[in-house]
Structure 1
């Protein structure tokens, strides 16, 4: 897939009330294993995290929301560019505010960001993707993801909002 290229630059970047608008997702899938008691298969949810080239810990894919796309399209694009997965965004988990040390510019000199985060049911995992030379991806169970998550706001999105959303909104037919 050599035609896949990560977007760069800030020409199309969205801003609101002094915040750079960001879109991201928590990519997830289901893993099945045989139950020890015989016959029944055990279903475990896994989330996909990526490393950061700028430091330790793992992250969920996220990046700037641009003028020519919906927030869902931006979240799906970031998952493709950074983690090499395609999928289906689900309901908005919430908005999360954070300060970026590296993403400061004339429109947002403090680096203040507002991130819209979505669950993303992964349908396809690509063998090549735009940022594969600087990003490794790792599937983790929820406890592992919480332990390795670099940012507190992402931990909150995972253990508070994603798990509640998952308990309230998923069905057995979703993961077939």
Structure 2
């Protein structure tokens, strides 16, 4: 069994201008395409999404950014806690504002949240992780993921990930000799 434990509670939660600050990521990996022609295989991007214990649709790992960690550390921690993955943050995907019906409190009575989202290149999938009893993880093509996103703001983050990823690929090709 995992010795990892999910953080709980709001004692260390960060707030700014009535918004609860959140950190998360779009986890991704590459797999070879199933090209039957025998030509050199093309790399396909897949993203990892997780189920929600509170309803249908899939999510990207995200959660509260606490005052004893950087926003990057919070995104990495949430990836381990919710999805059981480890990897490298490879890019910042922007800020996304949304309203949470389940996370209204005295500091954000309307449930306003501001998420900092990152691209996370997955290097390891853990066999055991803190929230595995409440969440299933699933690798999807980007088009499947866009159709499966529970929240519009996560779809926006995924679309930005696609633009960011394409720019990264162009940049990498330009760096080749």
TM-score by shorter chain over 0.5:
yes
Q: Is the 8 A contact 1:58 1:148 kept in 2?
A: yes
Alpha-carbon RMSD across the aligned residues, in angstroms, is 1.2
Distance 2:42 2:102 in 1: 42
Give per-residue Cα distances to partners, 1:41-78, cap 9 Å, x unaligned.
12110000000111100000000000111101100000
Distance 1:83 1:74 in 2: 14
Structure 2 partner of 1:35: 35
3-state SS of the aligned residue for 2:39? coil
Distance 2:42 2:92 in 1: 28
Point out 4+ residue stretches in structure 1 off by more than 4 angstroms. none
Distance 2:39 2:119 in 1: 30
User: Which aligned pairs between 1:13-162 and structure 2 lie closer than 5 A?
Assistant: 13-159=13-159, 161-162=160-161
Distance 1:146 1:34 in 2: 21
Structure 1 partner of 2:162: 163
Q: Is the 8 A contact 1:26 1:117 kept in 2?
A: yes
Distance 1:92 1:41 in 2: 29
Unmatched 5+ stretches in structure 1: none
Give per-residue Cα distances to partners, 1:113-155, cap 9 Å, x unaligned.
0000000000100000000000000000001001111000100
Q: Is the 8 A contact 2:91 2:120 kept in 1?
A: no
Distance 1:30 1:2 in 2: 27
How many residue pairs were aligned?
171
Distance 1:86 1:38 in 2: 33
Unmatched 5+ stretches in structure 2: none
Give per-residue Cα distances to partners, 1:4-40, cap 9 Å, x unaligned.
0000000100000100000000000001135333231
Q: Is the 8 A contact 1:46 1:142 kept in 2?
A: yes
Q: With the length of structure 2 as denominator, give the TM-score of the two structures.
A: 0.93
